[in-house]
Amino acid sequence: MLDELERDKPHEECAVFGIFGHKDAVPLTILGLHALQHRGQEACGIISSNGNHFQMKKAIGLVGDNFNKPAIIDQLAGYCAIGHNRYSTTGASDYKNIQPLYADFDFGGAAIAHNGNLVNGLQLRGDLVDNGRIFSSTTDTEVILQLIAMVKGHITDRLKYALSRVKGAFALLCMTKDCLIGVRDSLGIRPLMLGKFNGKYVLSSESVGFDIIGAKFERMVEPGEMVVITESGLQSIQITPKRRARTCLFEYVYFARPDGIIDGINIYQARKQMGRQLAMESRVSADVVVPIPDSGTPSALGFAEESGIGFDLGIIRNHYVGRTFIEPTAAIRHLGVKLKHNANRSVLRNKRVVLVDDSLVRGTTASKIVKMVRDIGAKEVHFRLASPQVLFPDFYGIDMPTKQELLANNYSMKEMIDFLGVDSLEFLSLDGLYRALGEKDGRDKQNPQFTDHYFSGDYPISVVGHDAPKDELSYMQVVA
């Protein structure tokens, strides 16, 4: 029930966080991962090091539920640490896929954590298996680890080789006994940024990872840049040509926490602006603007400001929802959506409601929320989405439904209006979205500023063959 709710939104698969050379590296990494929890709640892991040796802890569930004991901090103690949050669809059996991954090499150990997806990961894995490599996970991360093992030399050279073989989007951290490395893919699709805490370098998927510990944001890791942090400081190696970042639009639309900044763009203000732009593009006569919380709230505020219609909390969210919940009996199965949302009668009754959300993917939860809003007595429901129709699947690390499950790919506007049961339905235009993000002329078709294939069909990295579902990569299932 909950799964359906959660999976009705696209999901980023990961967050990474790392720090080098601080005696509190482990508690700081725990806090950093906690601040990045919104990017993945299924599993988390930390690997730390104190020079030669490494300690690892992985767990199913939230950071705050698994890394909350002083004894764990003591056992992990190290001056260098990297951590990872993971969203996953397959549950406890996936224990083997929790990151960071680790391997012993001739030069010592190395740990890797990454956020993103390789479009040629399956092909590379096949080649490696054909050449006698044994995999112990089904992650792309292990493909990179295996490639690192195939060449000799310093870890930076090995990593350069490995990354020259892979194609895809990633923000990657690698830790050895004497360095912490961060790399961002050549287009900068996934975010990765550099901060400083008490003079020590920190790497994080989002700036909120710095905020929680009081670290100072320094700068974005650039597309194709490898930053190598050692005791002697930071070295920057540009492994692919310099270019402006073409960040994934969904970071601004949905993934990133509103209180952050990615590639110079303030997320909260961008989302409010998307709401304002949406109001400009799709005027409506109504009594109240109501966000679907929490993701629709900033754009609903912007919509309300621009439209002059009052903003009110017409839907209340229950935040005490764990990862799993009861599978209710048949008699009460339809109640599912209410585990998380409840209609606020006094705001909605007899009102013409503008319902605002950030995006529409499958539409199943949205249709239930609309029904709940109608049942409580709303007179009209006008649904506004602060992003364009999602028409194309993603292959760069977003856990999004297949093409067949994308509502906008299968239904006409008229059919969507019927399916959702709304009085009107409008999406922000792609040009409008670009404008909200500061591109005054909208999307530059020749050289678009962002990665936007799910809206435009314009894939910046060509996908190699058919990317098989990862759960078919192994014939083996771990029983909990």
Which residues does the annotation mark as catalytic? Answer: 14
Q: How far is the CB of 249 from a second copy (least distance, A)?
A: 19
Interface residue with a second copy among 5, 30, 82, 386 (CB under 8 A) is 30
Site for a second copy in 382-411 (CB under 8 A): none
CA distance linking residue 460 with residue 425, whole number of Å: 30
Q: How far is the CB of 84 from a second copy (least distance, A)?
A: 15
Mark 39-68 with x for binding to a second copy (rule: CB under 8 A) and - for no binding: --x-----x----xxxxxx----xxxx-xx
CA distance linking residue 197 with residue 284, whole number of Å: 48
**Piece of the chain touching a second copy by CB under 8 A; list 132-140, 166-174, 353-361, 437-445:** 132-140
Contacts of residue 251, Cβ cutoff 8 Å, sequence gap at least 6:
12, 191, 262, 267
CA distance linking residue 322 with residue 320, whole number of Å: 6
**Piece of the chain touching a second copy by CB under 8 A; list 143-151, 227-235, 353-361, 435-443:** 143-151
Please, which residue, 195 or 393, has the CB nearer to a second copy?
Answer: 195
Interface residue with a second copy among 102, 161, 411, 419 (CB under 8 A) is 102
Q: How far is the CB of 233 from a second copy (least distance, A)?
A: 22
In terms of Cα–Cα distance, which of 57, 45, 52 is closest to 18?
45
133 is a site residue for a second copy (CB under 8 A):
yes
Q: How far is the CB of 311 from a second copy (least distance, A)?
A: 7
**Which pair of structure tokens corresponds to residue 181?**
């490395």
Site for a second copy in 194-223 (CB under 8 A): 208, 211-214
- Please return the burial class of 107, using the count of CB atoms within 10 Å of its CB with bins 0-12, 13-18 and 19+: middle
In terms of Cα–Cα distance, which of 171, 178, 141 is closest to 50?
178
Please, which residue, 30 or 408, has the CB nearer to a second copy?
Answer: 30
Please, which residue, 266 or 410, has the CB nearer to a second copy?
Answer: 266
DSSP string, 140-189: HHHHHHHHHHHS-S-HHHHHHHHHHH--EEEEEEEEESS-EEEEE-TT--
69 is a site residue for a second copy (CB under 8 A):
yes
Interface residue with a second copy among 165, 196, 338, 371 (CB under 8 A) is 338
**Which pair of structure tokens corresponds to residue 322?**
């764990």
Number of residues that make up the chain: 480
In terms of Cα–Cα distance, which of 188, 210, 212 is closest to 200?
210
Q: How far is the CB of 298 from a second copy (least distance, A)?
A: 7
In terms of Cα–Cα distance, which of 71, 78, 92 is closest to 29?
78
31 is a site residue for a second copy (CB under 8 A):
yes
CA distance linking residue 204 with residue 18, whole number of Å: 7
**Piece of the chain touching a second copy by CB under 8 A; list 100-108, 229-237, 438-446, 453-461:** 100-108
Contact 336, 4 (CB under 8 A): yes
Please, which residue, 129 or 413, has the CB nearer to a second copy?
Answer: 129
Mark 454-473 with x for binding to a second copy (rule: CB under 8 A) and - for no binding: -------------------x
436 is a site residue for a second copy (CB under 8 A):
no
Site for a second copy in 252-291 (CB under 8 A): 257-259, 261, 266, 268-269
Provide the pairing of β-strand 233-238 with 261-262: unpaired
149 is a site residue for a second copy (CB under 8 A):
yes
Please, which residue, 98 or 408, has the CB nearer to a second copy?
Answer: 98
**Piece of the chain touching a second copy by CB under 8 A; list 102-110, 116-124, 178-186, 420-428:** 102-110
79 is a site residue for a second copy (CB under 8 A):
no
- Please return the burial class of 109, using the count of CB atoms within 10 Å of its CB with bins 0-12, 13-18 and 19+: middle
Q: How far is the CB of 109 from a second copy (least distance, A)?
A: 4
Q: How far is the CB of 383 from a second copy (least distance, A)?
A: 20
Q: How far is the CB of 320 from a second copy (least distance, A)?
A: 4
Q: How far is the CB of 405 from a second copy (least distance, A)?
A: 26
Site for a second copy in 296-315 (CB under 8 A): 297-298, 301, 305, 310-313
Contact 96, 149 (CB under 8 A): no
Interface residue with a second copy among 245, 343, 366, 398 (CB under 8 A) is 343
Please, which residue, 319 or 445, has the CB nearer to a second copy?
Answer: 319
Half-sphere exposure of 435 (CA within 13 A, CB side): 17
In terms of Cα–Cα distance, which of 157, 43, 153, 37 is closest to 105?
153
Treating both helix axes as pointing N-terminal to C-terminal, what angle do 413-420 and 364-375 enclose, rounded to 10 degrees? 50
